Amino acid sequence: MEKHWGYSAFRPLQQEIIRSVLSGSDTLAILATGSGKSLCYQLPALCHGGLTLVISPLIALMKDQVDDLNHRGIPAAAWTSAQDAGDLAGIRNGLIDGTLRILFVSPERSVQPAFLACLKKTPLRLIAIDEAHCISAWGHNFRPEYRQLITLRRSFPQVTVIALTATATPDVRKDIIQQLDLKRPREFVGSFDRKNLRYCVREKKNPLVFIAHYLGQHRTGQGIIYCLSRNDTEEIARDLQKRGFSALAYHAGLSRQALESVQDSFLKGTVQVICATVAFGMGIDKPDVRFVIHHTLPRSLEAYYQETGRAGRDGLSGECILLFSKSDAARLRSLAAHDSPGGSALRIALAKLQAMTDFCETTSCRRRQILRYFGEAYPHDTCGSCDTCENPVGMADCTEAACLIARCILALSGRFGSDLISDVLRGSKGTKITGNGFDLLSVYGKGKQYSRTQYRSWIAELVRQGFLERTGDQYPVIGLTARGRELLAGRVTVMLPAPVPGPAAPGAAPVQDTADAVLFEKLKGLRKELAGKYSVLPYMIFPDKCLKEMAAIRPLDRAGLATISGVGPYKLTRYGPAFLEVLRAA
């Protein structure tokens, strides 16, 4: 690890996972994005002879990984349709003479007879299945072609298999084991807590003004703005450009060449923000993304976790801001119904969307809620690093208001959603109210003093507390539970977020890093220069984290520089002298 990567210590669970693989056990590794999954199969690939086959769904990702491995002096290649005959001949030779150590392929390729025949000629030692959640229909990214992997598994029954993913609920974990027929697998589940990320949800009002304001305050860090549609990406990018920001759009409608050039600018740091559909990010492994803004809420907490997980992979602070609106949620519900009309796929999609909406509407710690979703208990009540923890909403005795809501639900026979309930209570004169005679109900207009938003948040909280239940998928309706009836009987007290028109969550505060900022900028400048000279991406020379450490510790000689995490012998020789020069001059 020191020789090829320059790391001096394992990250949590890496060592355990690597030992498990080396001992020949099938292994399931669930580690959050950025926790260092790649090392878990790349290091074993070097420890024993033979080939490690890596199954990955994304060809773009393969290229980066291969470049990175080759740059570290490790013989690796990707077998894709982008390769020409010469490349493929080279790969075949490497397989036969055993010099190739790591080969990346797509799941489809891995089960093609011609490929399998070629694989039979080489001592295959390990099969690593990346993004393993794609095999499960319960996952958020089901890819039917992953189901064929069982063929690969059966063709090499003696070979150890390691399945890796960043997101898997307990159901998905079970599914992965079953579908891949893992034999008495050892499971390692890392914490999903990304401590360096701050989570914040804001009501979506004038999103462009908010984003421009945010960018104005954060001119140095790069970030991603996730949008729902191609149009949104282009509109937002155009608007930001007009306001003088450096922004580009990215979506599947662009030519391959354009996509590569946008990605390249982002990696090189020549553009500050990418306004992208979710197509962006899977193929990139950029450690120093400082913020991720969701212009529209994602379809599931898995997706949210994965997308926000692209921030702060270097362990430095990252900010995740989601702009939430009820109408976006409704739009996604109807899109889901359109994509899978009926059946279990729709049910799964809507349940995921509901969990996502609940996350946005919660008044308790957001980190806690994410972790609970992934089956992890968070040992604290508050995390101190999400908007709800920073601005806790006080709870108050709201029994009266809760009873009013319950009476209204009863009067509506539990057949309507929160907005209609609040319209009745607020005495709305809309046709949906008067046309149905709801203005004649005894509760009509009895709760005028509270806003619609207030009712939504209370109803969501009453659902969480078990007084109400939400049923119906596409058009959720609110009903009373047995506990809710007790409320009507006046037997319980209900604590709800205090009914103040709560100040909007303030914009996320910039996080201060302690390292000497001026020196850090100088080191970054040198890195950019070297990256140009050697035609590599800046972070491949040294990641930000490494430069920060240099700026803080200020080593003045080779031995000192070697103590910085991420500076291995290879990079020390190649880049060390240039960096020492800057460090000595500081």
To Zn ion, the closest distance from the beta carbon of 190 in angstroms equals: 20
Q: Cβ closer to ligand ADP: 25 or 565? A: 565
* Alpha-carbon span 298 to 324, nearest angstrom: 10
Q: Should residue 383 be labelled a site residue for Zn ion when binding is judged by CB under 5 A?
A: yes
Q: Should residue 218 be labelled a site residue for Zn ion when binding is judged by CB under 5 A?
A: no
Question: Which option in Zn ion, ligand ADP, none does residue 389 bind, with CB closer than 5 to 8 A by kind?
Answer: Zn ion
To Zn ion, the closest distance from the beta carbon of 380 in angstroms equals: 8
Give Cα separations from 234 to 225, 289, 320 (angstroms). Answer: 11, 21, 21
Question: Which option in ligand ADP, Zn ion, none does residue 7 bind, with CB closer than 5 to 8 A by kind?
Answer: ligand ADP
Q: Across the strands, what pairs with 247?
A: 273
To Zn ion, the closest distance from the beta carbon of 368 in angstroms equals: 6
* Alpha-carbon span 379 to 391, nearest angstrom: 20
To ligand ADP, the closest distance from the beta carbon of 289 in angstroms equals: 12
* 8 A C-beta contact, residue 153 and residue 161: yes
To ligand ADP, the closest distance from the beta carbon of 38 in angstroms equals: 3
Q: Cβ closer to Zn ion: 138 or 199? A: 199
To ligand ADP, the closest distance from the beta carbon of 132 in angstroms equals: 12
To ligand ADP, the closest distance from the beta carbon of 31 in angstroms equals: 5
Query: How many residues bind to Zn ion according to rule CB under 5 A?
Result: 5
Question: Which option in ligand ADP, Zn ion, none does residue 263 bind, with CB closer than 5 to 8 A by kind?
Answer: none
Residue ranges of alpha helices (H) inside 52-201 are: 59-71, 85-97, 107-110, 113-119, 149-155, 170-179
* 8 A C-beta contact, residue 409 and residue 480: yes
Q: Cβ closer to Zn ion: 191 or 261? A: 191
* Alpha-carbon span 26 to 13, nearest angstrom: 16
* Alpha-carbon span 537 to 285, nearest angstrom: 11
Question: Which option in ligand ADP, Zn ion, none does residue 35 bind, with CB closer than 5 to 8 A by kind?
Answer: ligand ADP
* Alpha-carbon span 528 to 526, nearest angstrom: 5
Question: Which option in ligand ADP, Zn ion, none does residue 565 bind, with CB closer than 5 to 8 A by kind?
Answer: ligand ADP
Chain contacts with ligand ADP (rule: CB under 6 A): 7, 10-11, 14, 31, 33-39, 285, 287, 313, 543, 565
Question: Which option in Zn ion, ligand ADP, none does residue 383 bind, with CB closer than 5 to 8 A by kind?
Answer: Zn ion
* Alpha-carbon span 413 to 396, nearest angstrom: 28
Residues in Cβ contact with 286 at an 8 Å cutoff, skipping those fewer than 6 apart: 222, 266, 267, 310, 313, 539
Residues in Cβ contact with 235 at an 8 Å cutoff, skipping those fewer than 6 apart: none
Question: Which option in Zn ion, ligand ADP, none does residue 414 bind, with CB closer than 5 to 8 A by kind?
Answer: none
Q: Cβ closer to Zn ion: 201 or 284? A: 201
Q: Cβ closer to Zn ion: 389 or 463? A: 389
H/E element, 209: helix 207-217
Q: Cβ closer to Zn ion: 62 or 386? A: 386
* Alpha-carbon span 73 to 62, nearest angstrom: 16
* Alpha-carbon span 105 to 56, nearest angstrom: 6
Q: Cβ closer to ligand ADP: 18 or 332? A: 18
Structure tokens of 432? 């949906």
Q: Cβ closer to Zn ion: 2 or 381? A: 381
Phi, psi of 453 (to 5 degrees): -60, -40
* 8 A C-beta contact, residue 296 and residue 236: no
Question: Which option in ligand ADP, Zn ion, none does residue 160 bind, with CB closer than 5 to 8 A by kind?
Answer: none
Q: Cβ closer to ligand ADP: 78 or 275? A: 78
Q: Should residue 389 be labelled a site residue for Zn ion when binding is judged by CB under 5 A?
A: yes
Q: Cβ closer to ligand ADP: 38 or 481? A: 38
Q: Which stretch binds Zn ion (CB under 5 A): 272-280, 379-387, 508-516, 565-573?
A: 379-387
Q: Should residue 163 be labelled a site residue for Zn ion when binding is judged by CB under 5 A?
A: no
Q: Should residue 17 be labelled a site residue for Zn ion when binding is judged by CB under 5 A?
A: no
H/E element, 553: helix 544-553
Neighbours of 262 (CB within 10 A): 21
Q: Look-up: residue for tokens 């109210």? A: 433
Q: Among residues 17, 126, 386, 551, which is the contact residue for Zn ion, using CB under 5 A?
A: 386
Q: Which stretch binds Zn ion (CB under 5 A): 212-220, 388-396, 466-474, 547-555?
A: 388-396
Q: Cβ closer to ligand ADP: 298 or 543? A: 543
Pattern 339-368, binding to Zn ion, x per CB under 5 A?
--------------------------x-x-
Whose CA is closest to 520, among 567, 572, 586?
A: 586
Q: Cβ closer to ligand ADP: 39 or 323? A: 39
Phi, psi of 5 (to 5 degrees): -115, -25
Long-range contacts: 536-540, Cβ < 8 Å, 24+?
536/67, 536/71, 537/267, 537/268, 538/267, 538/268, 538/269, 539/267, 539/286, 539/287, 539/288, 539/314, 540/67, 540/68, 540/71
To ligand ADP, the closest distance from the beta carbon of 435 in angstroms equals: 54
Q: Which residue has the closest beta carbon to ligand ADP?
A: 36
* 8 A C-beta contact, residue 269 and residue 528: yes
Q: Which stretch binds Zn ion (CB under 5 A): 215-223, 295-303, 381-389, 497-505?
A: 381-389
Provide the binding-site residues for Zn ion, judged by CB under 5 A.
Answer: 365, 367, 383, 386, 389
